Amino acid sequence: MRILVLGGDGYLGWPTALHLSQRGHEVGVADSLVRRHYDDEMGVSSLVPIRQLQRRVSTWKEVSGHTIQPFIGDLTNYAFVTETLRSFEPEAVVHFAEQRSAPYSMIDRDHAVYTQVNNVVGTLNMLYAIAELDPSIHLVKLGTMGEYGSPNIEIEEGFIEITHKGRTDLLPFPKQPNSFYHLSKVHDSHNIMFACRTWGLRSTDLNQGIVYGQQTPETVLHPDLATRVDYDAVFGTVLNRFAVQAAVGYPLTVYGKGGQTRAMLEIRDTLACVELACLNPAEAGEFRVFNQFTESFSVRQLAEWVQRVAPMDVKIESIPDPRVEKEEHYYQAVTTRLPELGLKPHLLGDDFVRSLVELAVRHKDRVNVEAIRPTVNWRVTRSEVSVAGGSVGE
């Protein structure tokens, strides 16, 4: 297939592009490179050194013999979106190209507005461009399990059958997002569903859990192909962050009781899920939702796992939760569609947790310890974050 990966310079977009290319697909990547500017703003950098996109692309061609075509531009620029689609003529568009951090969206009003404009407008532009140029393009959109929140009922896969006053309908599952970032994803889902119903577009909304890990069969072929690892309290995902904290002797920061339970999956499973969605497209006019995760863990479970298997003494510290959320809650979610399509998950084990810590130890001289502790507080409307080398928060 011809597949265009939006956000193809990012943590997941880049290894997805490599995986699809290695599997024989013709791949293009589009990116504004803004994720690298967030590092400059926050005063941090990836734990693992990463190369510029053009160097990544040229190294991939040398290593694999496959070509990835880069497009540099912003999805909020409609001319760039239409020009890219006309040039590459994709059969599927994989959409990672959004500001992905809940803490970043909660720093202050400016960051909340930026997140929503960047994410919602970029997706709207893509929907209009597909409708205008080629409605047969399948949009594979990366959503988040965070759209659902943590309801006290089982989380169904996108939709729920409701009986009310004697009448029954299949409706979108109620959303209880926990940040302006997660709200932007909810807006995306509603806009995409409307576009499919109204214009006959086809889309798969992948409500993805928290991703952990850094290495894939393609990224390990050459140092230039490595993808980023974030450990700071703004962009670092929980297990990756704990591994880095252990490596530098910093207590594992558990928010409150640590009973917050999250759906999770390993990075290689993200790549497999995306390809399965592309190879099995939605029908014209269909908006479908796949819950994309393999296991669920509480924050405290993950901290205790790192503490148990790490080859060094690791302490766990409970700190006040900067978020407005239940610190312990019921969490049970359904995932059926991807396993039915053939997903064979990589489940978390001691060896993998230990390998994350070992990766962090190899690069621990790159860690800015001041970036670990959270300083962004959901309960205030002004920024409490110091940037350009200071502390950052979640």
4, 92 in Cβ contact below 8 A? yes
For residues 20 and 64, give the distance between their C-alpha atoms in angstroms, rounded to a whole number: 12
For residues 17 and 60, give the distance between their C-alpha atoms in angstroms, rounded to a whole number: 10
Per annotation, catalytic residue among 181, 212, 250, 255: 181
46, 235 in Cβ contact below 8 A? no
Q: How many residues does the chain have?
A: 394
For residues 241 and 302, give the distance between their C-alpha atoms in angstroms, rounded to a whole number: 11
Please give the single-letter amino acid code of residue 49: P
Per annotation, catalytic residue among 16, 84, 123, 144: 144
For residues 299 and 320, give the distance between their C-alpha atoms in angstroms, rounded to a whole number: 14
Does the annotation mark 144 as catalytic? yes
Does the annotation mark 181 as catalytic? yes
DSSP 280-342: SPPPTT-EEEEEE-SEEEEHHHHHHHHHHHSSS---EEEE---S-S-SB----B---HHHHHT
Per annotation, catalytic residue among 11, 148, 185, 270: 185
Q: Provide the phi-psi class of 309: left if phi over 0, else alpha when psi is between -120 and 50, else beta.
A: alpha
Does the annotation mark 185 as catalytic? yes
Query: Helix 122-133 and helix 180-199: axis angle, to 10°?
Result: 20
* Enzyme catalytic residues: 144, 181, 185
